[in-house]
Structure 1
Amino acid sequence: MSVFYNFPLNAALLSIVLAQLIKVPIYLITKQTWNLKLGFSTGGMPSSHSAAVCSLAAAIGIEEGLSSASFAIAVIVSAITMYDAAGIRRHAGIHASLINQLMSAFPGTKGTPPKKALKELLGHRPIEVVVGALFGILVSIVLNYVIY
């Protein structure tokens, strides 16, 4: 049962849940419409992936020190995850959008069209990644202060 006392794990998981939850009210404020599905999907403000990995790195840094090997590993994994979210996954979403537009513009094209439209909201804008990272770090600091 010691997994329940694992500060880095708990901080990262809490960051994911909180980041996903606050996507809905942020979307409501910025777009003046509800989108409850955003709480269970990828993309959006803030990046829950960035929040999770940065929260994990921060919690490891708090618990083991900034010179620990674990902290170094967590920072590198965080950098790769955030680069992927703002780079490769974002571009995959842009490609999906263009493919969806082509499939609707040319419905009689040869080949097997997708059964439904491809998911377009896959990655994040850089600001969503940065806010997610800062949010995750803040969650670790607050959780450490309040509970640990």
Structure 2
Amino acid sequence: MGDASAINVPDASSSSSSTFSYFAVFYNYPLISAVVSFAIAQTIKFLTTWYKENRWDPKLLVGSGGMPSSHSSTVTALATAIGFCEGFDSSLFATAAILACIVMYDAFGVRLHAGKQAEVLNQIVYELPAEHPLAETRPLRELLGHTPPQVFAGGVLGFIVATIGQIIVRTVSNV
């Protein structure tokens, strides 16, 4: 019957069909760049906390906030890799770049201020008398957003990861 990992799917640009491999996602350079960049940023946060505070906090491997911004790193790596693949003059790169800017703005704008508000609200709840109905309220997460240096560091990390990925892709394709 054929290869179990491949199926025929209609091609959007024509009426013919093309072969699709489930494993093609593992060769998707923009996706790999974004995932690797995210993983590196989260690992840096985890190891930095371990080194500075001598404590293991596994939540940092998936949590938001901190240095560097994994959101900025991820979207910058994705946009840069798309630029390398499709061209920096392509509509796809323009879309990815604009979305990256929106994510980065949100990281140091809206989410940073939401974290500061959570800090104030937690302090208010902490100061409530014990008999108050909200005194036992679970604290809000405070580390939500990023400072501009954290966003910038994430962006630089994402650019570096995508650039190294591009060098690897070119080296492998020339072999």
> What is the TM-score when the length of structure 1 is the normalising length?
0.90
Supply the distance in 1 between the matched residues of 2:136 and 2:166 (Cα, whole angstroms): 47
Structure holding more helix per residue: 1
Instruction: Please tell me whether residue 34 in structure 1 is matched to residue 79 in structure 2.
Output: no
Residues 67-102 of structure 1 deviation map (CA, whole Å, 9 limit, x = unaligned): 000000011000000000001000000000000000
Q: 2:119 aligns with which of 77, 83, 97?
A: 97
Aligned residues: 147
Supply the distance in 1 between the matched residues of 2:135 and 2:90 (Cα, whole angstroms): 50
Q: 2:138 aligns with which of 97, 116, 121?
A: 116
Q: Secondary structure at the match of 2:76?
A: helix
Query: What's the offset of the Cα at 1:23?
Result: 1.0
Match in the other structure for 1:25: 47
Q: 2:96 aligns with which of 55, 63, 74?
A: 74
Task: Specify which structure has the bigger relative contact order, considering alpha-carbon pairs within 8 angstroms and separated by 6 or more residues.
Answer: 1
Supply the distance in 2 between the matched residues of 1:18 and 1:127 (Cα, whole angstroms): 17
Query: Residues 24 and 34 of structure 1 are in contact (CA less than 8 Å); yes or no, is this contact kept in structure 2?
Result: no
Query: Residues 125 and 134 of structure 2 are in contact (CA less than 8 Å); yes or no, is this contact kept in structure 1?
Result: no
Supply the distance in 1 between the matched residues of 2:79 and 2:138 (Cα, whole angstroms): 38
Q: Secondary structure at the match of 2:73?
A: helix
- Please identify the structure whose Cα radius of gyration is greater: 2
Query: What's the offset of the Cα at 1:26?
Result: 2.6
Structure holding more strand per residue: 2
Supply the distance in 2 between the matched residues of 1:88 and 1:110 (Cα, whole angstroms): 30
Query: What's the offset of the Cα at 1:46?
Result: 0.5
More moved, 14-23 vs 52-61? 14-23
RMSD: 1.8
More moved, 108-117 vs 1-10? 108-117
Query: Counterpart of 1:51 in structure 2: which amino acid?
Result: S
Match in the other structure for 2:106: 84
Match in the other structure for 2:77: 55
Query: Residues 64 and 144 of structure 2 are in contact (CA less than 8 Å); yes or no, is this contact kept in structure 1?
Result: yes
Q: Cα–Cα, structure 1 residues 114 and 16, in superposed 2: closer, same or farther, change >3 Å? A: farther
Supply the distance in 1 between the matched residues of 2:143 and 2:37 (Cα, whole angstroms): 20
Residues 15-72 of structure 1 deviation map (CA, whole Å, 9 limit, x = unaligned): 111110111223345x343342322211011000000000000000101111000000
